[in-house]
Structure 1
Amino acid sequence: MTLYGFRIPKFAALFFWIVVWEIVGQFELMLLFPPFTEVLAAMTDVVTTPSFVEAARITAYCYLVGLSLAVVAGIGLGLLMGLVPAADKLLNMWVNIFLSAPLSALVPVIMILFGMGEPTVIVTVFMFAVWIIALDTRAGVQHVSPSLKEMAFSFGASRVQRLKIVLLSALPEILAGIRLGVIRGVKGVVIGQLLVSIIGVGALFSLYSQNFLMGHFWALILILFAFALSLAELIGRLEQKVEYYAGARG
């Protein structure tokens, strides 16, 4: 962004909203928004407590297991839809429905099926992340150049080798889907822990809100945001490094 001939970095907007947050908090206009400096001070208190360490362990386990399953299933489903037209016609509508549906409403159903524990949270993360991964994988597979497939076939490539070529060519879209799935998965793990089995960070959110510890509450939200954005940034960097595969489809 350029203002009066000066180039302003993107993160300047972040500092602007931090200043606004601090001003609103200092004037105590809203009980829910303590000063940003108070949130930063509470962050140190949050991350050093034993309850946070245990909550982080449970949350990380549920998140990583659910996301791993979503990546495997999403890529497999996307390959099926992208390579088999009949499967695409059968599944595409349902995948889009689940992607756009309010999945939070399905959490009680998941709870009935899987109980009040970690399996429900894992399934919730899976449900939030798998559909966008599947659709992006499908898009990548469908944009693979037909000439690339014909070349592989003419050189006598096996089915496994041809599938590998398709995967490499669709890799930018697959990574884009995983990056979006990472962010949606964080939302899923928090919703799952809050609405289903008050464990992990969900238990801390309930504790802080019930005791009006809003500084700690917002500190925990910032920690989760930083976690999600850091993972998305790492995948985004990997995505940039493999963009040259897209040239094979040109």
Structure 2
Amino acid sequence: MTVYGVKLPKMAALLFWVVIWEIVGRFELMLLFPPFTEVLAALVEVVTTPSFAEAARITVYCYLTGLAIAAVSGIALGMLMGLVPFADRLLNMWVNIFLSAPLSALVPVIMILFGMGEPTVIVTVFMFAVWIIALDTRAGVLHVAPSLMEMAESFGASRTQRLKMILLSALPEILAGIRLGVVRGVKGVVIGQLLVSIIGVGALFQLYSNNFLMAHFWALILILFAFALSLAEIIGRLENRVEYYAGARA
């Protein structure tokens, strides 16, 4: 970022908003925003409590389980849509509808089907993440160079070998979909637990908001943001390592 010819580090924008947050909190301009320094102090208090450790265990389990199921299902669905035109015409509209639909409205229905517990949260994470993974996988499959498949056929590659070639060639888009699914999955796990509000971080959000412990509330949000951004950054670095597949397709 460059301001008046001076190159500033990427963290400058973040530090700017932290200062604004601190000023708003110090002057009590908005009651919902305590000073950022109080949030940092509350963060230490939050992560050292036994209730947070148990909530984190439940949340991470539900999140990773739902995301793993979404990744496997989304890649399979995207491969099917990309390889079979009839399946693409049949499913593409519905995948796009679920991607753009307000999925939080479906959580009460999921709760009726799976009960008020971990299965509901896992299914919610799955619903939030699977559609973007499927669409990005489909895009990657459709961008596979025809010459690559012609070469595979000319060398007598088996069906399994051709599928492996397609999967590797579409890997950049697949990883991009998983990276977006990681972020959407965090929204799913929070929304699922908030609406169930008896397990995981949802119970902590409910506890802090009911007792107006806003510093603890925002500290918990910062932890979730850091968790989501860390996972997205890890997958983003993996994306950079496989960019040569995209170059091979060109």
TM-score of the superposed pair, with normalisation by structure 2? 0.99
Q: Which amino acid letter does the alignment assign opposite residue 89 of structure 2?
A: K
SS at match of 1:28: coil
Q: Which amino acid letter does the alignment assign opposite residue 17 of structure 1?
A: W
**Unaligned runs of at least 5 residues, structure 2:** none
Counterpart position of 1:16: 16
SS at match of 2:239: helix
Counterpart position of 1:139: 139
Counterpart position of 1:38: 38
Say whether the 8 Å CA contact 1:128–1:188 is kept in structure 2. yes
State the shift of 1:2 in Å. Answer: 1.4
Say whether the 8 Å CA contact 2:196–2:202 is kept in structure 1. no
State the shift of 1:167 in Å. Answer: 0.5
Q: Which amino acid letter does the alignment assign opposite residue 123 of structure 1?
A: V
Counterpart position of 1:67: 67
Counterpart position of 2:228: 228
Counterpart position of 1:111: 111
Counterpart position of 1:204: 204
- 1:241 matches 2:236: no
Aligned residues: 250
Counterpart position of 2:91: 91
Q: Provide runs of 4+ in structure 1 moved above 6 Å.
A: none
Say whether the 8 Å CA contact 1:117–1:197 is kept in structure 2. no
State the shift of 1:198 in Å. Answer: 2.1
Partner Cα separation in structure 1 for residue 4 and residue 96 of structure 2: 44
Partner Cα separation in structure 2 for residue 131 and residue 198 of structure 1: 27
SS at match of 2:228: helix
State the shift of 1:196 in Å. Answer: 2.1
Say whether the 8 Å CA contact 1:42–1:215 is kept in structure 2. yes
Q: Which amino acid letter does the alignment assign opposite residue 66 of structure 1?
A: G
**Unaligned runs of at least 5 residues, structure 1:** none
Say whether the 8 Å CA contact 2:43–2:219 is kept in structure 1. yes
What RMSD in Å do the two structures reach over aligned CA positions?
Answer: 0.6
Say whether the 8 Å CA contact 1:148–1:248 is kept in structure 2. no
Partner Cα separation in structure 1 for residue 213 and residue 90 of structure 2: 49
Counterpart position of 1:151: 151
State the shift of 1:197 in Å. Answer: 4.5
- 1:218 matches 2:197: no
Instruction: State the percentage of identical aligned residues.
Output: 85
Counterpart position of 1:185: 185
Q: Which amino acid letter does the alignment assign opposite residue 234 of structure 1?
A: I
Partner Cα separation in structure 2 for residue 174 and residue 182 of structure 1: 12
Counterpart position of 1:53: 53
TM-score of the superposed pair, with normalisation by structure 1? 0.99
